[in-house]
Amino acid sequence: MLYQWSKRGWKVWAASTLPYSCLGQKESCRSLSLTGHVGFDSSPDQLVNKSINQGFCFNILCIGETGIGKSTLIDTLFNTHFDDRVANHFQPNVRLKAQTYDLHESNVRLKLTIVNTVGFGDQINKEDSYQPIVDYIDAQFEAYLQEELKIKRSLYSYHDTRIHVCLYFISPTGHSLKTLDLLTMKNLDSKVNIIPVIGKADTISKTELQKFKIKLMSELVSNGVQIYQFPTEDETISKINATMNGHLPFAVVGSLEEVKVGNKMVKARQYPWGIVQVENEHHCDFVKLREMLICTNMEDLREQTHTRHYELYRRCKLEEMGFRDTGPENKPVRLALLKYYADRKKSVSHSQATVESVQETYEAKRHEFFGELQRREEEMRQTFVQRVKEKEAILKEAERELQAKFEHLKRLHQEERMKLEEKRKLLEDEMIVFSKRKAATELLQAQAFASTPTVSLKKDKDRKNSSFM
């Protein structure tokens, strides 16, 4: 195999049957002059036609607090109204909302995906506000990697959802970056191309704005945050890109409202004190941002996403899975394969050897994974059994306490009942004694009443006799 270096890495250029010793040597390519027209000078035109037919995709991630002007700026950038509901400040956590649109300009088709962070910076505890964003970016890398590792791949028609650029909106406070902004950009700079922008830049004076820009860039450098730098390798755009790198972060104003200025209608924001023109470079950096983002460096953003950020994720993921670039004899895989073609001693083909190597690695990782899974399952089972035993012991102790409490209450109840029985018996005895006394009293009263009339008659008769005498 012969390899050729391109911007996306080493690519197979042609198959070769040269001996291994010849392939290991560096050969200089001869420059030949053609005696007539061949036609390969139309290759760029073929690439352009193929790209136009296939279309382009571009994915933008907008990060910023609610109300900073993210949706308005995106509408202004692409000169259209995207359907986006206004979010409130009462989101319990940060969530990402992705919407895809098909845009057409002339005969070029663009599949644009806008990913908005809903509720970013609205929570009281902002410690993990950046984590859902990191998880989303990694999920898109993982989806692309899974498609790339398939046996039957369809990357040509695959909808690439990897984030190509992150527009990080900074509040125009005029002071310094918030801790949340530094933490978020620090955790994202190795995963996505970050372009910082100052939202609603018309709320701060030009003098304060320049000082604010210098302070922001100083803080980013001192905290080790790597933002996207416009490339200066290409001579055709190196001058303008180098100039625009000095204007970062861009101070932008967004608006689709048209206001009459002189004899023409322009996009602007009208205030009682004057008019801020969106596309006037003396008023804001909107034109610079649109030029750099869409017209000049869109393809470089896509390429940086693939060759830098995705390759870093892919390398870490494959190393995690146990894949290495060296063979069993500590030789590079490519050299080992070339030596195989030269020696002709093995009976399997290059593809079969690669498949077997991948299969062996897969089987080893599979056994390792299942062993780890069984170990974790056993640990979880033991933990579950231990927790069940602890819970049973707690329940038994509670049951014993309840039983003791019940017995104590039962004894108290029995004692109270016995006391009441004794009182009842005493009361019944007193009632019997009282009844007997009552009966005796009634009997005595009856006897006394029966003897009382005879005595009174005798007394009357004696009184009458004494009166006659």
Q: Please give the C-alpha separations between residue 206 and each of 76, 178, 254, 283, in angstroms, as whole numbers.
A: 22, 21, 17, 9
Same domain, 251 and 365: no
Are residues 310 and 363 both part of a single domain? Answer: no
Strands 264-271 and 274-277 turn out to be antiparallel
User: Which residues span the domain enclosing 288?
Assistant: 51-321
We report the CATH number of the domain holding residue 121 as 3.40.50.300
Same domain? For 97 and 184 the reply is yes
Q: How many CB atoms lie within 10 A of CB 372?
A: 10
Give the distance from CA 181 to its chain's centroid.
16
Mean pLDDT along residues 125-138: 88
Residue 156 confidence (pLDDT):
79
Instruction: Assess whether pLDDT exceeds 50 at residue 24.
Output: no
Residue 317's Cβ-side half-sphere holds a number of Cα atoms within 13 Å equal to 16
- Cα–Cα dist 194/224, whole Å: 13
Q: Does residue 146 form part of some domain? A: yes
Residues 422 and 374 placed together within one structural domain of the fold = yes
Q: Give bridge partners of residue 110 from the DSSP assignment.
A: 56, 103
Amino acid identity, residue 82? F
Q: Is the pLDDT of residue 137 over 50?
A: yes
pLDDT band at 84 (very low <50, low <70, confident <90, very high): low
Q: How far apart are the first and last CA of the chain?
A: 179
Amino acid identity of 392? Answer: E
Neighbours of 294 (CB within 10 A): 14
| Count of domains observed in the chain | 2
Give the residue from 105, 109, 140 showing the smallest Cα distance to 305: 140
Q: How many residues does the chain have?
A: 469
Q: Are residues 307 and 410 in the same domain?
A: no
Kindly report the average pLDDT of the chain as a whole number: 82
- The pTM of this model reads 0.64
Q: Is 316 exposed, middle or buried (0-12, 13-18, 19+ CB in 10 A)?
A: exposed
Indicate whether 284 belongs to any domain: yes
Q: Identify the pLDDT of residue 468.
A: 55
Domain finish residue from 294, 321, 348:
321
Q: Which residues of 230-243 are buried (b: 16+ CB within 10 A; e: fewer)?
A: bbeeeeebeeebee
Q: Are residues 305 and 372 in the same domain?
A: no
Are both 112 and 178 inside the same structural domain?
Answer: yes
